[in-house]
């Protein structure tokens, strides 16, 4: 028995500081970084599992890239932070055993390894039987219907797709357009029903909008609206409090940080009704959060606290209020010397998991909820000019992206053109320009989503990677 006898359980415990620093759940507001970490964790877990297989001789070198959150263990390391506030770490694993791999990962991410000393000593004397290592942590393998019902992406399907050699766009469209067109045709009655139900409910109860937190299929969206429609017929008084609100179907019922009413898709009518009854108290809490934001803005030279809605974890209004209240109390005792309008037009987001302020590439400040006010003032003042430049650049890119999407919709006769949150404006603009150059007739009349991989969705929507390959000379229609 050698060093490779470190068990899977020991390795998971040893990697806790690493998981805490890179786990995708902590990257809810940063979809691009979240996606990179998810993919790298899959590869790392596969690498570790291969090392534990009986008679494992050689494991292919694996290159990994992680965005590392600033934790207490790494809060002294400021020199290589990206604009998003994370450290980007890339390294290639060549290790031949589990213990060396764990050490390599921790050291590469500049994380502490002191807790490994005891494990090193114990593994030198440990005996192991072939295949004794336990499988590494990975998401539970659910039945395919689970992913269809919940709207979550199937990680196994994504891995299989990634393993296939990526074809050119024209070849992939030729092979998959018939299936997409067939699925889209079948979905048309359900799409019409969805549009009718949404319009009917919005008009009847004066709703601002109805949205979905995740990419459920049209059938499930219809079922959710039919359920709300039945409740409105059985108990119309219950929905009166919804007037003027936006409804979001998601995993939990309540109100989110943006003031939208969240309806948990697994909840029953009784739970929805209870929520509607509590809406006046939720609105009161929302008013208090707005008051706190105004007070904070006065203290911070006109900078506004915003909440960035993404497909990451939803922040309930009570949690948002608590974060704002904590931040306000931190600022109050210290008199900041900021001119009342010196930071007008700038925005900040608050982060409970951060220890130092940073400036996001899109131009908003990311501020720790518990911060040192004088240091915060110095950071805001020294980075205000750069923040305005980044915000200006972001607005330019968004306008350019809107124009590129509009041009594609018209020129290519698409039914719709959207993108996943992890696709940046620059990537979307480049993708649209290339689509206009290629002008594929096979996309006419279809719903296109720009993503990072190819896929035909259950209702006939086509996902294509933003950096799709151009057709070869021999690859013609």
Helix (H) or strand (E) holding 226: helix 218-234
Question: Domains in the chain: how many in total?
Answer: 2
Structure tokens at 32: 């691009």
Last residue of a domain, one of 332, 364, 388: 388
% the chain with pLDDT above 90: 46
Question: Do 454 and 172 meet the contact criterion of CB atoms below 8 Å apart?
Answer: yes
Question: Do 114 and 61 meet the contact criterion of CB atoms below 8 Å apart?
Answer: no
Q: Are residues 199 and 313 in the same domain?
A: yes
Q: Which of 94, 39, 89 is nearest to 61 (CA)?
A: 94
On whether residue 171 sits in a domain, the answer given is no
Q: Are residues 247 and 377 in the same domain?
A: yes
Q: Which domain holds residue 217?
A: 187-388
Per-residue pLDDT at 432 exceeds 80: yes
Q: Are residues 371 and 222 in the same domain?
A: yes
Structure tokens at 383: 């980075």
Per-residue pLDDT at 132 exceeds 50: no
E-only strand ranges, 271-421? 304-305, 347-351, 358-359, 365-368, 416-419
| Distance from C-alpha of 86 to C-alpha of 68, rounded to nearest angstrom | 5
Last residue of a domain, one of 329, 361, 388: 388
pLDDT in tens, 214-258: 777 898 899 999 999 999 999 888 899 999 999 999 878 999 999
Question: Do 36 and 23 meet the contact criterion of CB atoms below 8 Å apart?
Answer: no
Work out the average pLDDT over 137-142.
Answer: 49
Question: Do 97 and 71 meet the contact criterion of CB atoms below 8 Å apart?
Answer: no
On whether residue 120 sits in a domain, the answer given is no
Work out the average pLDDT over 382-406.
Answer: 96
For the chain, give me the number of helices (H) and strands (E)? Answer: 13, 14
pLDDT in tens, 12-40: 778 888 888 888 877 766 777 787 888 78
pTM of the model: 0.65
Least confident of 158-162, 327-331, 347-351, 414-418: 158-162
On whether residue 445 sits in a domain, the answer given is no
Q: Are residues 353 and 248 in the same domain?
A: yes
Q: Are residues 331 and 197 in the same domain?
A: yes
pLDDT in tens, 168-195: 899 999 999 999 999 999 999 999 999 9
On whether residue 467 sits in a domain, the answer given is no
Question: Do 430 and 163 meet the contact criterion of CB atoms below 8 Å apart?
Answer: no
Phi, psi of 263, rounded to the nearest 5 degrees: -110, 115
Phi, psi of 359, rounded to the nearest 5 degrees: -115, 120
Q: Are residues 93 and 224 in the same domain?
A: no
Q: Are residues 201 and 108 in the same domain?
A: no
């Amino acid at each position: 028995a050698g060093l490779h006898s470190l068990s899977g359980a020991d390795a998971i415990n040893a990697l806790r500081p690493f998981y805490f620093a890179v786990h995708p759940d902590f990257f809810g507001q940063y979809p691009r970084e979240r996606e990179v970490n998810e993919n790298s964790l899959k590869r790392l877990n596969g690498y570790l599992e291969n090392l534990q297989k009986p008679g494992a001789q050689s494991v292919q070198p694996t290159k990994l890239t992680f965005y590392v959150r600033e934790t207490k263990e790494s809060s002294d390391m400021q020199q290589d932070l990206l604009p998003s506030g994370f450290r980007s770490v890339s390294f290639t694993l060549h290790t031949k055993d589990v213990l060396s791999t764990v050490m390599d990962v921790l050291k590469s991410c500049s994380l502490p390894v002191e807790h490994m000393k005891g494990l090193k000593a114990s593994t030198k004397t440990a005996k192991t039987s072939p295949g004794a290592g336990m499988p590494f942590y990975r998401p539970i393998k659910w039945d395919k219907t689970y992913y269809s019902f919940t709207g979550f992406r199937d990680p196994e399907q994504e891995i299989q797709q990634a393993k296939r050699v990526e074809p050119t766009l024209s070849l992939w469209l030729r092979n998959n357009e018939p299936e997409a067109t067939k699925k889209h045709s079948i979905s048309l009655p359900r799409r019409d029903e969805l549009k009718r139900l949404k319009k009917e409910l919005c008009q009847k109860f004066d709703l601002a909008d109805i949205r979905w937190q995740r990419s459920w299929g049209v059938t499930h969206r219809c079922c959710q609206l039919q359920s709300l429609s039945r409740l409105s017929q059985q108990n119309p008084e219950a929905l009166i409090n919804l007037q003027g609100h936006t409804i979001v179907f998601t995993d939990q019922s309540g109100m989110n940080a943006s003031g939208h009413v969240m309806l948990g898709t697994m909840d029953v009518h009784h739970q929805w009704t209870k929520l509607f009854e509590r809406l006046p108290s939720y609105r009161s809490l929302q008013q208090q959060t707005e008051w706190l934001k105004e007070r904070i803005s006065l203290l911070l030279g006109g900078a506004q606290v915003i909440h960035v809605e993404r497909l990451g974890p939803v922040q309930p209004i009570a949690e948002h209020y608590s974060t704002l209240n904590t931040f306000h109390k931190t600022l109050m005792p210290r008199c900041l010397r900021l001119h009342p309008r010196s930071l007008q037009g700038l925005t900040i987001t608050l982060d409970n998991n951060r220890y130092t302020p940073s400036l996001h590439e899109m131009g908003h400040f990311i501020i720790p909820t518990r911060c040192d006010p004088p240091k915060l003032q110095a950071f805001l003042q020294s980075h205000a000019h750069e923040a305005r430049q980044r915000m200006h650049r972001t607005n330019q890119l968004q306008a350019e992206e809107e124009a590129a999407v509009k041009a594609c919709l018209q020129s290519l006769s698409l039914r719709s053109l959207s993108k996943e949150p992890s696709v940046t404006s620059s990537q979307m603009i480049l993708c649209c320009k290339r689509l206009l150059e290629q002008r594929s007739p096979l996309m006419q009349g279809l719903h296109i989503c720009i993503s990072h991989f190819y896929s035909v969705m259950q209702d006939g929507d086509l996902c294509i990677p933003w950096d799709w390959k151009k057709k070869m000379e021999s690859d013609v229609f």
